[in-house]
Copies of this chain bind each other. A is one copy, B any other.
Amino acid sequence: MPSELISELRERLGQVADLNATIALLQWDQEVCMPPKGAQARGRQLATVSAMAHRMFTDERVGALLNELRSGSVVSPDDRVLVEESLRDYERATKLPEVFVERFAEEQSRAYEAWTRSREQDDFAIFRPHLETMFDLLRQKTDYFGYAGSPYNALLDEYERGMTVEQLNPIFADLAKRQSALVSRIALSDTQADGVWMKGEWDANAQWGLTLGILGDMGYDFEAGRQDKSVHPFSTSFDLYDVRVTTRVNPNELFSALTGSMHEGGHALYEQGFREEDRRTPLAQGTSMGMHESQSRMWENMIGRSLPFWERYAPAYQGQFPGRLDNVSTEQMFRAINRVEPSFIRVEADECTYNLHIILRYELETALIEGRMKVSEVPEAWNAKMKQYLGVDVPSDAVGCLQDIHWSHGLVGYFPTYALGNLYAAQLFEAMSASLPDIWGQVEAGNFGGILGWLRTHVHVHGRRKTAPEIVRTSTGSEPSSEPYMRYLTEKYSSLYGLS
């Protein structure tokens, strides 16, 4: 009986989901609450529960159920997508031999340790042998997974299903050229933002209060979530009705708590928007890292760094810091939060330069995986591309090719999803604006119901039922493209920097 099989499948997937939620809680607590001496035991707890979750999901019975249900004919359309998505995860999870998974995890620890030292001592030679081993292992991984076209596609597929090097190469090449040109023109502009008034201390409690207020305005449900402080902001989810965010409040920065909070709030709104009936299944997940990132970046950048947003919230800021901002105009705040300044560091990059940091990494990663470059050539290639795209001279590998944690963890194929997030965000936002003609009036009124409603219907509610390209296609009528993002950037920054 298919109905009995599907019940058994749902029960097993539900238990795996419970364990995954538990892992997420162990991690959340580690970042937010755990006392320092608790770290060692927490590591063991995470290892034990993660191993159990993996064993439970890769159980042969799960595979048997999935294959039987796939070949059966009496499965409802709703159940069919559950079976297909679960089978996709199951196949990925079972394709890697256990001995390889262990070897990979060991190298992750070693590489992470070496990367830390390498960066501290600003000496790429320490990290190099580990990075070589890591890329060897990653190439083996692509063989286990299998691929068409570039082997990089096998890695990309884990984070951005269905996206390929063949699709990305022309998009990124075009973006690199155009964003790089835009950045050069901005650098030459006479209209530069003045940020002197931002110097000084900004009360942490006042900043915190602003983030809570704006999260609430965005539609984040505090009955089904909470915001805490952590060193690195993140969002996490234990269930449709328990989706949490964190932010970091730095008294020396006026806006970073807010932008962090809106970014994580964008992720969280996605997770609070899945279907009730998809709870405890793999369908209650963001469909790709890029689509997830589109939600955070739309709220943080396209909304949170817009002039109408500041028309609304400048007075709130002035109210929270009495007397400090009376002589600062809305326009000044808007300009300050959108200052363009090429730098070495990706995580501090503005909207105009951000994708260039990503494309640089993507080009190196693909060359390494495809065997067109050696690990030893990375520093030189890095610095050359920084000069080419951003016009900056990298003073040292520590703030160059050693700045990111990702490669030490074997996270290759992940970076491009950040840039894709920007592209999806702009493309979705254009379509949304067309169907909400008063969108900026609503933002200026602090009314985000229309925006959230549109995102719920077109993006959130689908969970993994649609791929990212399918979502873009059905809600905009076009294939994923970089045009809307370039239009958005050019228009916004031409106006800000007086470019003709």
Contact = CB atoms under 8 A, between A and B. Distances in A.
Interface of A: 14-15, 18-19, 21-22, 25-26, 29, 33-38, 40-42, 44-45, 47-49, 52, 221-226, 238-242, 279-280
Contacts of A224: 35, 37-38
A242 B21 contact: no
B239 A41 contact: yes
Contacts of A241: 35, 37-38, 40-41
Contacts of A42: 238-239, 242
Question: By CB atoms of chain B within 10 A, which of A41, A47, A226 has the most?
Answer: A41
Contacts of A221: 37
A239 B38 contact: yes
A22 B38 contact: no
19 contacts: A14-B44, A14-B48, A19-B52, A21-B45, A22-B45, A25-B29, A25-B45, A29-B29, A35-B224, A37-B221, A37-B223, A38-B224, A38-B239, A38-B241, A40-B239, A41-B242, A41-B279, A42-B239, A44-B280
Contact of A49 (B18, B36, B239): B18
Given A238-B45, A241-B40, A22 B18 contact: no
A362 B41 CA distance: 39
Given A14-B44, A18-B45, A26-B22, A38 B280 contact: no
A242 B44 contact: no
Nearest to A228: B33
A425 to B, nearest CB: 27
Nearest to A241: B37
A350 B15 CA distance: 46
Given A41-B242, A45-B18, A35 B279 contact: no
A49 B19 contact: yes
A17 to B, nearest CB: 9
Given A37-B221, A45-B238, A52-B52, 18 more contacts: A14-B44, A14-B48, A18-B45, A21-B41, A21-B45, A22-B45, A25-B29, A29-B29, A33-B226, A36-B223, A37-B223, A37-B241, A37-B242, A38-B224, A41-B238, A41-B242, A41-B280, A42-B238
